[in-house]
Amino acid sequence: MARKTGSHSRNTAPKVRDAALRLFARFGYAAVSMRRIAAEVGVQAGALYAYTPDKQSLLFELMNGHMKTLLKTAAIPRPRGDILNQIDNFTRVHIEFHLKRPDATFVAYMELRNLDAANFAVIEQLRRTYEDRLESLIIAGRESGLLTVPDSKLAVMAVIAMLTGVNTWFRDDGRLDRAGIVAIYQDMIRRALGAQN
Amino acid sequence: MARKTGSHSRNTAPKVRDAALRLFARFGYAAVSMRRIAAEVGVQAGALYAYTPDKQSLLFELMNGHMKTLLKTAAIPRPRGDILNQIDNFTRVHIEFHLKRPDATFVAYMELRNLDAANFAVIEQLRRTYEDRLESLIIAGRESGLLTVPDSKLAVMAVIAMLTGVNTWFRDDGRLDRAGIVAIYQDMIRRALGAQN
DNA sequence: GTCTATATGCTGATAGAC
DNA sequence: GTCTATCAGCATATAGAC
């Protein structure tokens, strides 16, 4: 209880991150001022600099955290199960993960150009790691004769673009629920990859 | 020859649009100032307002022109030919059109949130018109038994996301040329749509 | 940890000269 | 059609009080 007067920061750090994420997603990094983030949190602009050295770091931490969590969540825990099941699993996890985090997903895709060079390289590396995992599955599937893929790298790009695109049109009160969407995408992706199901 | 001193605007209008497009694509609408556009054109900031009433209109005109050109280019000139060929054609035209205009494509996708409400509605309508054309093809293919598509709307979103994603990774000095990429995407899209080829 | 006050500079847009 | 000059406001970030 050695807290000074005016100090109620126990929840401020996550509030800053939440406010920044929400505002960056909605209006874009460049269009959001530190004053606006502060107002959303309920402090003055200067107080934000107790939590981040500058605006750029705030953006980077949000994107870096998002990518790290993605890689952790999408870690393949069990190498057992055949390749088609693993690809179905990738499809499901990708859709569920990103639909659960629309703001972070949007920021991670839209604000890449607002990262400085060093930060961009870090995020780019994480993105590549994620893509490589999917490519490994596709290559394994092709080698075992379960898939017919003309080009594994293009297949990766096509599948990830399809999947991430879900976030752009999904609505909670829409015609299909998440499980239904996952099932349809699993079907389309298996087919696109030439699965002999 | 009734031109006043200091008047050399014959090429300025397109220069303004080109500069704005290039800068918006690279740094984002919100991060680009009118002064910076003017500097790129080689005039002072005030001179831009002879060509656009404000910055917002400049963005809207770029996006509106892009979408109108897309709809014109992708107009289906010949209803003859079977559905699979028409879908292959859609794939080819989409990829070629967008690879030819990387900046406009990028701006059209990234800057939607920076349109004011009225302008956004216009662009949204054009985008929907484009999607509806593809859906018509898919529905016709399904009805004639050529395609197996669990959900035509999701199929549209998946296909367009796949196709537009090409712009994010394509490089002119890359491993595959445009024709090669088109062929692979035609194959993956036919398969995704359950074509019995 | 948060406040107020401030520095330094850039923003979109307009007015009037030429 | 383009220039210069300018308005009024907001930007990021820091300093020092409490």
Å separating the CA of residue A176 from the C1' of nucleotide C18: 65
Q: Is A34 helix (H, G, I), strand (E, B) or coil?
A: helix
A194 touches chain B (CB under 8 A): yes
Task: Specify the pLDDT at position B75.
Answer: 87
Over residues B95-113, the mean pLDDT reads 98
Question: In this structure, how many other beta carbons lie within 10 angstroms of the beta carbon of residue B17?
Answer: 18
Q: Which residue has its C-alpha nearest to nucleotide C1's C1'?
A: A7
Reported as a pLDDT band with limits 50, 70 and 90, residue B10 is confident
Footprint of strand D on the protein (CB under 7 A): A 4-6, 32-36, 45-46, 49, 53-56; B 4-9, 12, 38, 42-47, 50-51
Reported as a pLDDT band with limits 50, 70 and 90, residue B7 is low
Mean pLDDT across chain B, nearest whole number?
Answer: 94
Task: Specify the pLDDT at position B40.
Answer: 98
Distance CA B197, CA B175 (A): 27
Distance CA B59, CA B55 (A): 7
Over residues B175-180, the mean pLDDT reads 98
- Smallest Cβ–Cβ distance between A28 and the set B114, B169, B183 belongs to B114
Task: Specify the pLDDT at position B142.
Answer: 96
Q: How does pLDDT run along chain A (197 residues), one tens digit per residue?
A: 434 445 566 789 999 999 999 999 999 999 999 999 999 999 999 999 999 999 999 999 999 999 999 999 998 766 667 999 999 999 999 999 999 999 999 999 999 999 999 999 999 999 999 999 999 999 999 999 999 999 999 999 999 999 999 999 999 999 999 999 999 999 999 999 999 86
Decide if pLDDT at B3 tops 90.
no
CA A183 to chain centre: 20
B124 touches chain A (CB under 8 A): no
**Phi/psi zone of residue A6: left (φ > 0), alpha (ψ -120 to 50 degrees), beta?**
left
- C1'-nearest nucleotide to the CA of B56: C12
Distance CA A74, CA B2 (A): 68
Quote the minimal CA–CA distance from B73 to chain A in Å: 23
Over residues B42-66, the mean pLDDT reads 98
Over residues B136-154, the mean pLDDT reads 97
pTM of the model: 0.95
Gyration radius of chain A's alpha carbons: 20
Distance CA A180, CA B151 (A): 10
Task: Specify the pLDDT at position A127.
Answer: 98
Q: Is B72 helix (H, G, I), strand (E, B) or coil?
A: helix
Chain A CA closest to residue B113: A27
